[in-house]
Structures are given as C-alpha cells and as structure tokens.
C-alpha cells in the first residue's frame, strides 16, 4: 500500500490514478487493477444513494462505506471524503469525525472540501497524524452558493485558488484535488506547489486524475462533461437482468442443476 510520501514522490514523475468506490466489491475490483488511491467520495449521494446532490450524506453513511471499502482494498490508499457539516464548524468535533475514519473504519487519509476555513484544521489534523487531502475549485458541498459550473474563470478567483493551494500545502496537506477549473490555472497550481495535484475537469497537466467509478464504467445515466465512459456496465447489467427474467418466465431457470431433492422427503403428506 502506498503511503502519502510515496504518492508525493510520484508528483511530476509518474501519473497518479484515483477512482471512487463505495462498497467492498467495487473496491476489490478497483484495487486489483492497481489504482493508486481509492476515494470513498461523498459523491455516493448522487452516484449510488439516489440524492440530487452530496449534501444529504451523513457521517454514519460515510463511515459505513469507508469501512466496506477499506475491507475490500489491500493495496490502494483509501481516502475518506468528509461529508457536509462533518467538519469546519467546531475544531474538536471535526478532528473526532476525521479521526473516526482512520481509527474505526480503516481509512488511510481524509479529504476536505477546502477554503480559508480549512487551513488551520488541515494543519491540526496533520499534527495529529491524520493525512489530509485538500480540494479546491468546484466543491460540490457548496452547490447552493456556486452551482455545478466551472470555477475560477476570472483572475481574482483564480488568484484565490492559487493562494489557497499554497496555504494548504504549508498547512500540511499531502495532495490537492482541483475540480472543474481552467486547465491553464491547474497547470500553474501544479507548477507552484510541491504536493501532488489530482485533477477532475482540470486538464492534463495535473500530477494525477480522479473520476467517479459509475461514470468510468458506464453505470451513470448522466455524466459531467469532463468525465469519460470507458465501458457500458449499465447496458451489460440490463442485458443480464433481461436474460434472467426471460429464463424464469420460460421455465428455463431454475434447472435441475440449481436445486436438489431428498428421497426421504417424498412422502411428507
């Protein structure tokens, strides 16, 4: 399993791969492929739990999913995405919530949707031995303020992201997710900081890339414009279910090989 130092050493040398997972089966599949980082994203809210956004995801739901992923992954670094209002309001509570993901659920690190309010928290978490990944640009937990549109398209906001990247690096963040920002801004952030940058809709100059699992394999009905579907799992699942229904309705399933009989039970009635 790579440590955060191993990942930092990859910056600028070898592309870092990160995918989300939300259960042990998916984590095992993703882990076997050799992905570097598995993010248990709060994207589970709209990816697998049926919500319109990430805000309803609870700390207990995240903890349950983090534990499942940690049990399914042997080699990848498991990062717990801290859900809305599980951090930031009270430092002590934030630390307890983040620590729970490592101490009780088996994560190796946490991720915070970041801003000026998370700089001191990142420093404190790092001091306590909780590796922390920062996240700038489009932060879905701020959907009611920003929407899901591209961020940092103006100079002032771009400069703010650059400044926050430096501040979180200085605070001890081991890596930085950059979401849905101009590629030339992401390139400048990557050049400015020494910690790895992991892009999602931020161009190809970042040190790594992350996407949501359901988008990558083609399970999502809709994907964001910066995602790519590398398979059609949704179609394959639908075909398999159709075949199952046809087999049951036709009497083909179950067959003799799918059950057994006991002679001594023939005369119960």
Two tokens at 230? Answer: 């590398």
Q: Judge whether 242 lies within some domain.
A: no
Please state, in angstroms and as integers, the Cα–Cα distance from residue 74 to each residue in 27, 61, 62, 71, 81, following that order: 9, 22, 19, 8, 19
Confidence of residue 259 (pLDDT cuts 50, 70, 90): very high
Domain count, the chain: 1
Task: Give the catalytic positions in this structure.
Answer: 179
Among residues 154, 196, 245, 164, the alpha carbon closest in space to that of 15 is found at: 196
Annotated binding site: 42-43, 81, 111, 113
Three-state DSSP class for residue 163: helix
267 lies in a domain? no
pLDDT of residue 103: 98
Q: What is the per-residue pLDDT for 2? A: 81
Per-residue tokens: 107: 């994560």
Report the binding-site residues for 3-methyl-2-oxobutanoate: 42-43, 81, 111
pLDDT band at 267 (very low <50, low <70, confident <90, very high): confident
The answer to whether residue 46 sits within a structural domain is yes
Domain of 115? 4-236
Tens digit of each residue's pLDDT (9 = 90 or more) over 10-52: 999 999 999 999 999 999 999 999 999 999 999 999 999 999 9
Asked if the model's pLDDT at residue 269 lies above 80, the reply is: no
Q: How far apart are CA 210 and CA 38, in angstroms?
A: 9
- For 148-165, write each residue's pLDDT tens digit: 899 999 999 999 999 999
Matching residue, tokens 């703010």: 160
Q: Could you tell me which residues are annotated as the binding site for Mg(2+)?
A: 42, 81, 113
Question: Within 13 A of 19's CA, how many CA atoms are on the CB side?
Answer: 24
Domain contains 92: yes
Q: How far is CA 19 from CA 85, 86, 98, 261, in A?
A: 23, 22, 20, 46
pLDDT digits (tens, 9 = 90+) for 200-249: 999 999 999 999 999 999 999 888 999 999 999 999 999 999 999 999 99
Residue matched to tokens 């996240």: 135
The strand pairing partners of 18, in sequence order, are 37, 210
Residue 110 lies in a domain: yes
For residue 66, CA distances in Å to 20, 51, 76, 137 come to 11, 19, 13, 24
Give every CB contact of residue 103 below 8 A, 6+ residues apart in sequence.
Answer: none
Query: How much is the pTM?
Result: 0.95
Is it the case that residue 268 has pLDDT exceeding 90?
Answer: no
Assess if residue 130 is contained within a domain. Answer: yes
In a domain, 264, yes or no: no
CATH number at residue 167: 3.20.20.60
pLDDT tens digits for 54-75? 999 999 999 999 999 999 999 9
């Amino acid at each position: 399993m790579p440590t955060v130092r191993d990942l930092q050493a990859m910056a600028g040398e070898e592309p870092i791969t990160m995918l989300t997972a939300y259960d042990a089966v998916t984590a095992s599949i993703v882990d076997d492929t050799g992905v570097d980082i598995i993010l248990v994203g709060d994207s589970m809210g709209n990816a697998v739990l049926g919500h319109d956004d990430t805000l309803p995801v609870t700390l207990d739901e995240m903890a349950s999913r983090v534990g499942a992923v940690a049990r399914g992954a042997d080699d990848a670094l498991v990062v717990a995405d801290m859900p809305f209002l599980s951090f930031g309001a009270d430092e002590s509570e934030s630390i307890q919530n983040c620590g729970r993901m490592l101490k009780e659920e088996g994560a190796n690190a946490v991720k915070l949707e970041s801003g000026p309010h998370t700089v001191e928290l990142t420093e404190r978490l790092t001091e306590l031995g909780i590796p922390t990944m920062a996240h700038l640009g489009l932060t879905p937990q701020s959907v009611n303020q920003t929407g899901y549109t591209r961020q940092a398209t103006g100079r002032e906001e771009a400069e703010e992201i650059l400044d926050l990247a430096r501040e979180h690096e200085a605070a001890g963040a081991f890596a930085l997710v950059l979401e849905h920002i101009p590629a030339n801004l992401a390139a400048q952030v990557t050049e400015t900081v020494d910690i790895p940058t992991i892009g999602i809709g931020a161009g190809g100059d970042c040190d790594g890339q992350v996407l949501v699992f359901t988008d990558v394999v083609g399970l999502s009905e809709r994907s964001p414009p910066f995602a790519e579907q590398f398979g059609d799992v949704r179609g394959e699942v639908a075909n398999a279910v159709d075949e199952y229904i046809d087999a049951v309705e036709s009497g083909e399933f179950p067959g003799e090989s799918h059950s057994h009989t006991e002679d001594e039970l023939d005369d119960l009635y």
